[in-house]
């Protein structure tokens, strides 16, 4: 006998229409980055099968925000500024006189 394992994703009722069910779909997500429109194909979203309400996957939105951040690719470690002490002018050493 063979067993089939089905991986079911939890089904959630729609919070808007109360009649539909939110189902995972992969859509084209778009957002503005300054004056530029950014399109992300294959973005996970939960969409109501009745009213069309969309809820975007929180982890994917967080990941995308990190990628689009102005600090993306920059080191997260803060650089410490080294302070240099002012140079002290030294006089040449003089031989001491012994009397």
Q: What is the DSSP string of 23-61?
A: EEEEEEEEEEETTEEEEEEEEEEEEETTT--EEE-HHHH
Inform me whether the pLDDT recorded for 77 exceeds 70. Answer: no
Inform me whether the pLDDT recorded for 2 exceeds 50. Answer: no
Higher pLDDT, 77 or 19: 19
Higher pLDDT, 47 or 67: 47
- Mean pLDDT for the stretch of residues 40-46: 94
- Residue 96 pLDDT grade (very low, low, confident, very high; cuts 50, 70, 90): low
What domains, with CATH codes, occur in the chain?
12-68 (3.10.20.860)
Q: Say whether pTM exceeds 0.75.
A: no
């Amino acid at each position: 006998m063979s067993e089939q394992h089905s991986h079911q994703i939890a089904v959630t009722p729609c919070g808007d229409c109360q009649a539909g069910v939110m189902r995972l779909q992969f859509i084209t997500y778009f957002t503005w980055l300054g004056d530029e429109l950014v399109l992300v194909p294959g973005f996970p979203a939960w969409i109501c099968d009745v009213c069309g309400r969309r809820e975007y996957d929180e982890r994917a939105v967080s990941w995308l925000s990190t990628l689009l951040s102005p600090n993306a690719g920059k080191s997260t470690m803060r650089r410490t500024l080294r302070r240099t002490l002012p140079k002290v002018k030294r006089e040449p050493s003089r031989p001491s006189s012994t009397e």
